[in-house]
Amino acid sequence: MPMAEPTTSPTTSAPRRRSTATDIALIAAFAALIAACAVVGGIPVGGAGVDITLQTFGVLLAGCVLGMVRGFLAVSLYLLLGAIGLPVFAGHTGGLSVFTGVSAGYLISFPFAAALAGFLVQFVFREQRTRAVFVFVAAMAGTVLNHVCGTIGMKIYLDVTWRQAFTFDAPFWVGDIVKALVVGIVAAEVHRAFPRLLGR
């Protein structure tokens, strides 16, 4: 008796393909968003020569909206585009030299900051991710990680004391807290509008 051919593959593979295509599109879109945020007029502050941009806003928003894995991949794609020479970093710069400069600590921490914020939104706060205060807390966790790594990077690159490194980092806090607050509001609204965005 001949065996019946499986009939489930056409119905199961199509949603999987659509899911993968959606993930890739979201990752690429947020990488482009971060690049756009980075090149919007940087404002130099402090004595270390690091500009304030909307870069961290895009990084944290990617994590809080896309979740841990897709947020990490979106930010990693952005860094890859900059590493191969595209001018997507602050000051319209690109190339590998940026990863050995004064802002290297901040840049290297970006994927992990996005992943941490995404992990908290996706797996810790879960049903509370439609409330801005919880997403803000997740974004602030990523912000703290970003600042810690940035401070370490400045200490190493500038060969200064810890006190001086923290002094160089201090002016960025007010702006980054505001960015985290906006991320909390925006991402919570996104999850309210698309409750299944992190369901897969």
User: What would the DSSP string read from start to end of 60-88?
Assistant: HHHHHHH-HHHHHHHHHHHHHHHHTT-S-
Nearest-angstrom CA–CA distance, 163 and 35: 31
Which stretch of 15-24, 91-100, 144-153 has the lowest confidence by average pLDDT? Answer: 15-24
Q: What are 104's two structure tokens?
A: 């290297």
Which stretch of 18-27, 40-49, 63-72, 73-82 has the lowest confidence by average pLDDT? Answer: 40-49
Predicted local distance difference test score (pLDDT) of residue 116: 98
Identity (one letter) of the amino acid at 144? Answer: V
Predicted local distance difference test score (pLDDT) of residue 52: 72
Give domain limits for the chain: 20-193
Band (16; pLDDT cuts 50, 70, 90): low
Mean pLDDT of 15-44: 84
Residues in the chain: 200
Nearest-angstrom CA–CA distance, 188 and 138: 11
Q: Which CATH number fits domain 20-193: 3.90.1150.10, 1.10.1760.20, 1.10.274.10, 1.10.260.30?
A: 1.10.1760.20
Strands (E), the chain: 43-45, 50-52
Mean pLDDT of 61-75: 98
In the DSSP assignment, the letter for residue 48 is: T
Nearest-angstrom CA–CA distance, 28 and 77: 8
Predicted local distance difference test score (pLDDT) of residue 1: 47
Predicted local distance difference test score (pLDDT) of residue 122: 96
CA distances from 22 to 16, 19, 39, 80, 196 (A): 10, 5, 26, 20, 13
